[in-house]
Structure 1
Amino acid sequence: MQQQSGPVLRDIHVPHVSMWWPLAPGWWALIALLVVACIVAVLAWRRRAARRRRADAVVAELRAARERYATDGDAAAFAAAASQLLRRVARLRDPRSVTSSGDDWRRVLATQAPRVAVDRLVALDGTMYRPKAELDVAATARDAEAWVRAAMRRTSRVPA
């Protein structure tokens, strides 16, 4: 017999460990981060969809006013309806805008939707009180719709 020079060793048996379980702590952190990111994305998507629905509702009211103008030809009534809608949207971001007129109203309109031309929109306040109002309804409705969509897209509030 041959003499052994060291201890007798047995073969190593590796226990069966699933590839997926148990996960290392880094994987749990990554999964938690992904869940939080998904929740934030869903909430942001829902807020954006709700904002878009509100803007679509306001634009639908504006289009209804334009259709009423097409049937009755009353530019003053269209101007009053459009002005009321603009003030309602402006009030969402700046409650003080309801009482604005003239240059203050122009500033409010320009501040809330900086890339939209506001000249026709400012003229609505004077037009609605004229018995024979001259108004380019199609262009004004386009400007008002663009302003509403731009103003409702911006979410930050004007400081009080």
Structure 2
Amino acid sequence: MPQNAPVLRDIHVPEVSMWWPLAPGWWVLIALALIAVAIAIHAWRRRVARRRRADAVLAELHAARERHAVDGDAAAFAASVNQLLRRVARLRDPRSVTLSGDAWARALAAQAPRADVALLVALDAAMYRPRADIDVAGTCRDADAWIRAALRRSSRVTA
């Protein structure tokens, strides 16, 4: 061998990584994990939005009660609480906004079955009376319970 000749070495194969490329089963598992994370984030956002909506509605109910405590206007209190109930009812069943009397009572009872709606139905007529005699504390208690129950149920009424 000549003295000036380069020294040749053996062929070096690059190291093979055993984890890449991933097998199809791993891709399916990653896709399922991403879908599960997306569903969890969506459910969490809906829950937070529902809680914020309920808090806003209940704050509006308590503001109506405080306004009544200041001015004593029972008709205005009845009108604002009745409007609030109809807005919450519209979230679940858009047709319930136009109801009155017994149909309105059935709609209230259907949307929150465990709530007592007797005082709430009376608001429909009390807001038109010049001197409405309303149990404000009882109405607020029943409206609070009805709103919580109606907003807790997540599915809309169909048909």
For Structure 1 versus Structure 2, the TM-score category normalised by the shorter chain is 0.7 to 0.9
Aligned residue in 1 for 2:11:
none
Q: Secondary structure at the match of 2:132?
A: coil
Shift of 1:16: 6.5
Aligned residue in 2 for 1:11:
none
Q: Aligned pair in 2 of structure 1 residues 19, 145: CA closer, same or farther (>3 Å)?
A: farther
Worse-matched range after superposition: 59-68 or 124-133? 124-133
Aligned residue in 1 for 2:123:
124
Shift of 1:19: 6.6
Shift of 1:30: 1.6
Aligned residue in 2 for 1:142:
141
Shift of 1:159: 2.1
Alignment of 1:73-112 (within 5 A): 73-112=72-111
Note the residue ranges of structure 1 that are not aligned, 5 or more in a row. 1-14
Aligned residues: CA RMSD: 1.9
Task: Give the structure-2-normalised TM-score.
Answer: 0.82
Q: Equivalents in 2 of 1:16, 1:152: separation in Å?
A: 60
Q: Aligned pair in 2 of structure 1 residues 104, 21: CA closer, same or farther (>3 Å)?
A: same
Aligned residue in 2 for 1:46:
45
Matched residue type, 1:51: R
Note the residue ranges of structure 2 that are not aligned, 5 or more in a row. 1-13
Percent of aligned pairs with the same residue? 73
2:70 pairs with 1:71 = yes
Q: Output one character per residue of 1:104-148: Cα deviation in whole Å (capped at 9) or x when no partner.
A: 001110111111111111111122222222222112112112211
Shift of 1:149: 2.0
Aligned residue in 2 for 1:32:
31
Task: Give the structure-1-normalised TM-score.
Answer: 0.81
Aligned residue in 1 for 2:4:
none
Q: Secondary structure at the match of 2:114?
A: coil
